[in-house]
């Protein structure tokens, strides 16, 4: 099975490939060859060029700055960006566009869409996600950060943690408790809150890889106007879980493209270390190749559902579970191929902390070792894989719900 795009999308993809050739020199070897400190500015510059030429958010409605095209065109763009070894997007776009922007299209008021969506597309404002708390990780509904409505604005107090890109974000979409007397799933509200104010403090968290992409965010009488309520008050659980579907499954149709490029580099690593003829290594690489193909087909199935007007649904949990388990197996294999080389960090560390490194990245030990350390978190963020297993068993297999442990907040 080798799915292909429609003739119109193929013509569009050819046109887009011509645009990309204008943006890079003839001897271009890939964004992964750039020094780490140069990668983010380069990604932002490419994003700006693509936005000005009308290739950012092409599936969004025209009235908000998009082109009103189908998701099939977005997948075609991703394929060409990978083929030309260019960044897929700026890191903040995962939160700004894939997660918050998609949710705002579904739940936002017309005023909110007009105010936020064009500025998200242009890159003028960057967003981060305020979900997890020190005592509310997998049990998101137990979130305790509060918001009280006073004189037309919400006053927020509490703490969020593991907040990626909060140190560079302009806004945060934050899940807060607005009714302490209601059942824990029914007293939550999703708010859009500006980060640049005295009531918000951001502290970066240094990770095992040496990076500091995660943050703690402290709210002390932080405020946001009532018109920044996303969806209905106390209906935040429905909005928040819809947003999680975009986080877990929204990129299903394009992730396999990135993983295929990464696996090609792993095969090159095996050749460089003289391990490519070993039966055990070859079998494990073949296993990985089969999983990447499966991810591609799962992605096309998700794309088909989107084109048919269906939501992502619980299959988003399956996509997240599948790729994150695969990522850890792949990185274990990389460590085995490196052998004694894992004892030293040599070369360039990855520019992308989440998932495969930038296309064209070298096979340096530092890249694979840092990727291995980052992959430890892949089965935890965006909902632990234990949570994904529960979702799959209940929503797809129809198994009984897991017994819930009652807390003081539960009713």
Catalytic residues: 247
Alpha-carbon distance of 269 to 272, in angstroms, equals: 5
Alpha-carbon distance of 87 to 368, in angstroms, equals: 19
Alpha-carbon distance of 103 to 144, in angstroms, equals: 22
For 16, counting Cβ atoms within 10 Å of its Cβ (0-12 exposed, 13-18 middle, 19+ buried), the class is buried
* Residues comprising the chain, all counted: 411
Token pair for 236? 């935040």
Token pair for 331? 């990185």
For 364, counting Cβ atoms within 10 Å of its Cβ (0-12 exposed, 13-18 middle, 19+ buried), the class is middle
Phi, psi angles (nearest 5°) of residue 233: -60, 135
């Amino acid at each position: 099975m080798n799915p292909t795009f429609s003739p119109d999308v193929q013509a569009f993809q050819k046109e887009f490939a011509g645009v990309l050739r204008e943006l890079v020199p003839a001897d271009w070897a890939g964004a992964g060859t750039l020094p780490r400190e140069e990668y983010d500015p380069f990604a932002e510059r490419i994003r700006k060029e693509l936005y000005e030429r009308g290739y950012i958010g092409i599936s969004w409605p025209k009235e908000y700055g998009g082109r009103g095209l189908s998701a099939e065109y977005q997948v075609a763009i991703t394929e060409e960006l990978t083929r030309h070894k260019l960044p897929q997007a700026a890191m903040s776009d995962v939160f700004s566009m894939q997660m918050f922007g998609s949710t705002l299209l579904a739940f936002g008021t017309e005023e909110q869409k007009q105010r936020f969506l064009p500025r998200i597309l242009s890159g003028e404002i960057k967003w981060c996600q305020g979900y997890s708390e020190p005592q509310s990780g997998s049990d998101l509904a137990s979130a305790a950060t509060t918001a009280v409505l006073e004189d037309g604005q919400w006053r927020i107090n509490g703490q969020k943690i593991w907040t990626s890109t909060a140190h560079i974000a302009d806004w945060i979409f934050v899940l807060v408790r607005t009714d302490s007397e209601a059942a824990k799933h029914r007293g939550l509200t999703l708010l859009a809150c500006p980060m640049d104010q005295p009531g918000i403090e951001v502290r970066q968290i240094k990770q095992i890889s040496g990076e500091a992409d995660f943050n703690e965010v402290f709210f002390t009488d932080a405020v946001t106007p009532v018109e920044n309520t996303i969806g209905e008050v106390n209906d935040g659980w429905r909005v928040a879980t819809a947003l999680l579907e975009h986080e877990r499954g929204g990129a299903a149709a394009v992730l396999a493209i990135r993983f295929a490029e990464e696996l090609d580099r792993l095969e090159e690593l095996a050749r460089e270390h003289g391990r490519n003829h070993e039966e055990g290594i070859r079998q494990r690489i073949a296993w990985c190749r089969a999983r990447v193909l499966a991810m591609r087909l799962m992605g096309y199935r998700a794309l088909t559902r989107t084109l048919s007007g269906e939501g992502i649904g619980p299959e988003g949990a399956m996509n997240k579970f599948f790729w994150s388990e695969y990522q850890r197996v792949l990185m274990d294999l990389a460590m085995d191929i490196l052998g004694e080389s894992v004892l030293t960090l040599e070369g360039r560390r990855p520019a992308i902390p989440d998932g495969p490194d930038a296309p064209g990245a070298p096979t340096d030990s530092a890249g694979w070792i840092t990727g291995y350390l980052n992959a430890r978190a892949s089965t935890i963020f965006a909902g632990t894989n234990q949570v994904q297993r529960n979702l799959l068993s209940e929503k797809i297999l129809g198994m009984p719900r897991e017994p819930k442990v009652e807390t003081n907040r539960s009713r």
